[in-house]
Amino acid sequence: MSQRTLVLLKPDAVRRGLIGEIVGRIERKAGWRISAMELRTLDRETLEQHYAEHVGRPFYEPLLEFMTSGPAVVMVVEGERVIEGVRALAGPTDPIAAPPGSIRGDFGTIVRENLIHASDSEESAEREVKIFFPSHG
C-alpha cells in the first residue's frame, strides 16, 4: 500500500554534510520517491506545531533551539510501506542502540541531535506534511 511520510534532515545532518548520503539511501530504496524537498531554516512557529505533543517536557526548549540552529531539509517521501521503512532506515533515537547500516547507527553521535525525523504513523504523516508543505495536498 502506497503511503507518504514527512522526513526532516535536522540541522546536524546539514551541518555535517550528510544530505547526499541520507537522500541517496532513501532514493535507492526501490519504489520510494521524493515528491517534495526543500532546504530551509525552520521557524519556531512551525516547530511549535510539529512538536506540540512535547510542550512542557524538559527537552522541549532545547529541541526547538537545536531545530532552529541552522538549515534543515524537509521532504515528502512516497512509496510502499514508506512510514515504517524510513523509520527503520533511520534507526532508534539513541545512536548507540541503532544498528549499523541505519542512519543513526552509522552517523549518530548524541540522542538529542539525531540527524533525521520521520513520521511515526499515517495520521502523523498527514498532519506533519500539512504543517511543512501546506500546498502538497
Going by CATH, does the domain composed of 2-132 fall within 3.40.50.20? no
Q: Give the start-to-end residue ranges of the domains of the chain.
A: 2-132
The residue annotated as part of the active site, out of 50, 54, 117, 136, is 117
Digit-coded pLDDT (tens) for 74-90: 999 999 999 999 999 99
Digit-coded pLDDT (tens) for 36-74: 999 999 999 999 999 999 999 999 999 999 999 999 999
Helix ranges (DSSP H) in the chain: 11-15, 19-28, 44-50, 60-67, 82-90, 103-107, 122-132
136 noted as active-site residue: no
Q: How many CA atoms lie within 13 A of 19 on its CB side?
A: 13
Q: Is the pLDDT of residue 95 over 80?
A: yes
Q: Which three cell numbers stand for residue 90?
A: 533511520
Digit-coded pLDDT (tens) for 18-28: 999 999 999 99
Q: Report the SS3 class of residue 11.
A: helix
Let me know: does 39 contact 95? Beta carbons within 8 Å. no
pTM of the model: 0.94
Sheet holding 2-9: strands in order across? 33-41, 71-80, 2-9, 116-118
Percent of the chain with pLDDT over 90: 93
